[in-house]
Amino acid sequence: MQALALALAVSTLIGRSDGTLSGGASPHGLAESWRPGPGDLIPFGFNISTIDNSSFVVPSPPDSPTSPVIVYVYNPDDAASRSMWRDKASIQSFLTTSPAETQYLFLSYGLYADKDSEMMRAVLQAATDNLPVSNRARAVSLSNMHFGDVPMTGISDKGANFLTSLMGQWTSARAIMQATSTGDWALESERIDASPDWLPWPLPTHPLPLQSIGDGCRDRIPYNLTGVAALVSWAPRRACTYAQILMRAQESDASAVVISAPEEEDVLQMICGGADCDIPLTVGATMIPHKVAVQLQDALALGLPVKVRFSEQETPGYYAAIDEENRLQQVGWVREASIMPLAWAAQWLHYAQQLKRRLQAPALIVPVFEQQVMQGYHGIRVNVTMPPADKLAAFTSLALDFELGCPGKLDADCPIWDHVVQLFVCCPGGPVPCDSCDDTIWLAQHHPEDAAERVWQQDYRQRSADASADSSNGLLPHCGRELGRWITPFRRRIGRWLSDATPLLPLLVGGQQCTFTAQTAPWALPWQPSLRLRFQGDSSTGLRPFALQPLFGGGTFDDSYNNASSHPPVHFETPKGTKQALLHAFITGHGSDDQNCAEFCPTSHHFSVNGREHLINFTNAGTAHGCADRVLEGVEPNEHGTWLYGRNGWCDGQDVQPFVVDITADLNSPGGPANKVEYKGLYQGRDPHPDPKSGLPPGYIMQSSSISFLSHADAGLQLSVL
C-alpha cells in the first residue's frame, strides 16, 4: 500500500510536461521519404518572423547566403536546455569566440516561444554588457542573432517548415532518471549529469538500489555502497563541496551519486573549482529536482526499497547548421549544459570555409584513394605511379589533402572510438628503404571495454607466436616510412585537413610506382578516407628537400625509454649542396599508467644537434578544453566522446601536427665532421618512472623523426635517404 502511494505521489509530482515532445506537422512540399543528410542542399529558402518585428531570411538554393547559420531550438522542458542559459562563463566565451560572420537563429519548442526568445536575447544582451572592455571589440554582434516569435511547431512559412521535419530526424536526447518501489517505473524525473569536462564517466544503465547518505559531508560515509546509487539531500549550509561528496561516496564504492538541487532552485550542471578539480574521481554523478529528491528521501525513510535507473529520452533535435553553400550540416553530440557547442560548430564551419579557399590554390594533384574502406589488418594499400621526376622537380612543397568519412549518411553511422591513423609510403626501386609496418599502432590506443578489440588482441598474440612479421601470413607487411598521421574522432564524419608534408618530399620518387598504406586499429569499424597529394610552389625561386636522414622511433614510456639501447645517438654527415636543414618529428603519447601517461600527461621531447637542444613540450595534455580550444585549427567539434581534453601531442578528430624546427645553424659543413643527434623524452623534467605495482601498463610514445635537407631545385641533386 505504501509502495503504491509512493508511485502515485511521484507520478503526480512529475505530471508537468516532462515527457516527449511532439514532432509537429510535416513540412509542405516535402516527400514523406525525405531523409536529409549532411551536405544536402536545404530544400527551400525561408523567412522566419522574429521578436523585433523583423524577419530572418535564408535565400533559396542555389543562391548562397553570405554567411553560415547555426540553428538552435530551446526546450523549456529539458533541464540541460534551461541550464545553459544560466552559465555566465560559457555565454561570455560564446560571445568572444564565435566567428564574426556566423548568423544564429534561436527558436523554441515552448508554447510561449516569444517569451523564451526574449529570455535568450536578454541573457545575451546582459552578457555582452558585462564583458570586459578589452573583450567587447571581438564579441560577436547581437545583430547576428535572430530570435523567432512563434513555437517551432507553429512556423507558418512554407520554406521554414522543413526545419520541423529535419529536427524530427536529427534528434537530441534528454537525460532522465526513473524510480520505482513497485516494480514498474512510476517516477520519471529530469536530471543533469555533472559537467563532462570534469566527470566524463557515464552513469550505469542497469537498475541500482537507492540509499540515502544525508548531505554527504561526513568525514567518512559509514555505509557499504557497493552496487548502490547514493542519494544526497540538500543542506542549506552544507560544509563540503560536490567534489568532496563524490570522493566520500566513491571511497564507499558507490556506483552512482544522485544529488538534490537546492531548494527553490532549478537543477544545474555540477562543476569543480580550484583544488577540487584535482581530486581523482571515477564515479558518475547527476542532479535531480529538489522536490523529487524529497519524495525519494521520504520513501526511503518509510523503509521502502527504491530502485533507480538512468536513461535518455529521444526528443526532436535542438541543433542544426546551414553552411555558406546552403547545405545542411550536423552540429554533433552535445553533453554540455552550455552554449559553447554552438560556437564550436560555428568555428568548424569557418575552418571548413577557409580550407575550401586554400584548396582552390593552383596545384598538381595526385589522387591516391577516394572513399576507400579502411578496416582490418592491412587497412588500405594502393599502388600509384608518381608523375615523372622532372615534373615533380618543378614543385617545392607537398601537402596531404585527407578526408575521413565513414559508411552511411550521419555521424551516428561512424565508428565510436578514437584511434591512430598512419599513412606510409614505399617507392620500390628508389633510394628509400621500405621498412616493415610498425605494430605499435595496434597497441597504442587500448579500450579493454571494446569486445572487438579484446578478440583481436587475442588473435594478434596467437599470430605473433605462430609466425614472424615477414612470414607469408602478412601480419606486418612492408609499409615504408610514415608520411602522415591523424586521430579519428568519436563518431563524426566531417574531418578534412590539409597537412604540410614538405620535409618528407624525398620519400616520393618521380616516375616510380609507390605503395601507399593507410591503417588504423584493425578491430575498429570501417572508415572511408580519401587522400590526394598536392604539389605546389615554384622551384625556380625556392628550396626543395632532396635528402632525408631517419632519426628515432618511439617506445614504451617507462624507466628504459631513455636508455642508450632504446634511442642511441645518430651520426651522419651533412649532404653536399645543403642550404637548409629541418628536424621533423611526429610524436604522440598514448595509454594510461599510474601517472596518466602517456595520453593525458604533459611530456617533453628533447633533441640535441651537436650539443644544441631543441625542445617540444606538450603542456596542453590533460587540460579541460585543450582540444576544444583548437577547433579553428581543425579539431572536429562536439564529438561523441571526451574530445574536449588536451592530449599528449594530438587531439581527437585532427591531423597530428609535426614538430618542425630549423637546425641549419647547428650542422657541420658538408665534407666536415659527422653530426651527432641525441634524443630523450621526459615527464615532469625527469625520466618516466611508472609504478610497476600499480597493475597498469606503462604508456607508449609513437615517434617518427627525421632530418630533411633542402637545396636549390636546379642543383641537380638526387633524392636520397642517408
Q: How far is CA 552 from CA 76, 143, 161, 192, in A?
A: 56, 54, 59, 47
Place of cell 583481436: 456
How confident is the model at residue 431, as a pLDDT?
A: 56
pLDDT at 467: 39
Report the half-sphere exposure of 352 (CA within 13 A, side-chain side): 23
Look up residue 157 and give its three cell numbers.
512559412
In this predicted structure, what is the pLDDT of residue 541?
A: 75
CATH no. for 173-309: 3.50.30.30
Angle (deg, nearest 10), helices 2-13 and 290-301? 180
Can you tell me the distance from the alpha carbon of 415 to that of 404, in angstroms, rounded to the nearest whole number? 11
Helices and strands (H and E) in the chain: how many: 12, 33
Tell me whether residue 282 is exposed, middle or buried, using C-beta atoms within 10 angstroms of its C-beta: 0 to 12, 13 to 18, 19 or more. exposed
| Single pTM value for the model | 0.90
Preceding omega of 343 cis (within 30 degrees of 0): no
Q: Which of 496, 488, 487, 489 has the alpha carbon at shortest distance from 399?
A: 496
CATH of 361-721 among 2.60.120.230, 3.40.47.10, 1.10.1740.10, 3.40.50.1370: 2.60.120.230
Whether residue 62 is preceded by a cis peptide bond, meaning omega within 30 degrees of 0, is yes
Give residues with Cβ within 8 angstroms of 90, minimum separation 6. 84, 336, 338, 339, 340
Domain 34-171+316-322 in this protein, CATH class = alpha beta
Range(s) within the chain of domains with CATH label 2.60.120.230: 361-721
Q: Can you give the pLDDT at residue 435?
A: 77
- Distance between CA atoms of 48 and 33, rounded to whole angstroms? 25
Q: Which amino acid is at 299?
A: A
Note whether 589 and 598 are within 8 A (CB). Answer: yes
Q: Give the pLDDT of residue 133.
A: 73
Burial of residue 299 (CB within 10 Å: 0-12, 13-18, 19+) is buried
**Mean pLDDT by 10-residue block, N- to C-terminus, for the chain (722 residues)?**
38 34 44 78 88 90 78 96 95 95 96 97 96 79 94 80 90 95 86 92 94 86 88 86 94 96 94 91 96 95 95 96 94 94 98 97 98 90 95 95 95 93 86 64 49 55 45 59 96 97 95 93 91 90 92 95 96 97 98 92 98 97 95 98 95 98 98 98 96 92 96 69 62
HSE-up (13 A, CA, CB side) for residue 471: 9
